[in-house]
Amino acid sequence: MKQQKQRAFLKWAGGKYSLSDTISKMLPKGGRLIEPFAGAASVYLNTQYSHYLLNDINHDLINLYQVLQHDAAQFIADAKMLFTPEQNQAEQYYLNRQQFNDSDDPYLRSLLFLYMNRHGYNGLCRYNSKGGYNVPFGKYKRPYFPEDELKAFAQKAKVTEFVCEGYRDTFARAKDGDVIYCDPPYVPLSKTASFTSYAGNGFGLDEQADLANAAEEVTREKRVTVLISNHDTIWTRKIYEHADQIKAIKVARTISQKGATRNKVGELLALYKPKV
């Protein structure tokens, strides 16, 4: 009997729900799956490893995951109170956003991060140069409260370690038998189509090339497999030229509000196998 696919509880630009089957088939068996770019964690939710290590440079995201890991029932009850008609008003949204930006309380920020993800424009996650969350109100009729998805995530979090660090630090944690899946901020298809600053840190072409280098290095030094996803461009085909396998696919964009305007774009999956 085929296991039902699990959706992430967050909306996320570049989320991998639609691709998770394809990615899972390319990932080998192993003791632990490591994700240096966790995002909404759709691959994590739709794979079956005994242990997981999830990293993301976005501290608010990892904080939310850790809160869910330790106190899911209370968090879900409190978050549900933010999904009411009164909270789905522009004025209230901006008050909540300001409260988020003014607060350093991890629990409050985790509640408001989920609230803004579901009530903000297009599920975007974006910060200004001062680190303030600045996504505008989304104007949805009735934002969905992902209770079942939160519970599923909290259950899986019992066998997961969450960290917030650079991807190189996460690679350094890999041990023989681990599998690494990388979903970095994608190489933009145009000069204006970049979501790379969502954590306040740019992820430019130098970082893209360094990530490919990191995959080559770890597979030479340890019995570790690495899979990287990205846009299919001349640049990415060049930096992944030493991969053991390249798979090219067409994927529908999922971040646009109007479904009819979503175009299919080319994606690459680059697999690096252990050399030891």
Cβ 267 vs Cβ 19: under 8 Å: yes
The verdict on whether residue 244 carries a ligand-binding annotation is no
Q: How far apart are CA 19 and CA 11, in angstroms?
A: 15
**Sign of the CA dihedral 143, 118, 267, 22?**
negative
The verdict on whether residue 105 carries a ligand-binding annotation is no
Burial class (CB in 10 A: 0-12, 13-18, 19+), 132: middle
The verdict on whether residue 56 carries a ligand-binding annotation is yes
Give whole-number Cα distances, 2 to 46, 55, 156, in Å: 12, 29, 18
Residue 168 main-chain phi, psi, to 5 deg = -65, -40
Cβ 122 vs Cβ 138: under 8 Å: yes
Q: How far apart are CA 144 and CA 19, in angstroms?
A: 22
The verdict on whether residue 12 carries a ligand-binding annotation is yes
Q: How far apart are CA 180 and CA 54, in angstroms?
A: 10
Q: How far apart are CA 88 and CA 10, in angstroms?
A: 17
Chain centroid offset of residue 22 CA: 17
**Sign of the CA dihedral 78, 82, 86, 87?**
positive
Structure tokens that stand for 164 in this block: 């917030």
Cβ 165 vs Cβ 171: under 8 Å: no
- How far apart, in Å, do the first and last CA atoms of the chain sit? 36
Q: Which residues are annotated as a binding site for S-adenosyl-L-methionine?
A: 12, 16, 56, 183
Q: Which residues are annotated as a binding site?
A: 12, 16, 56, 183
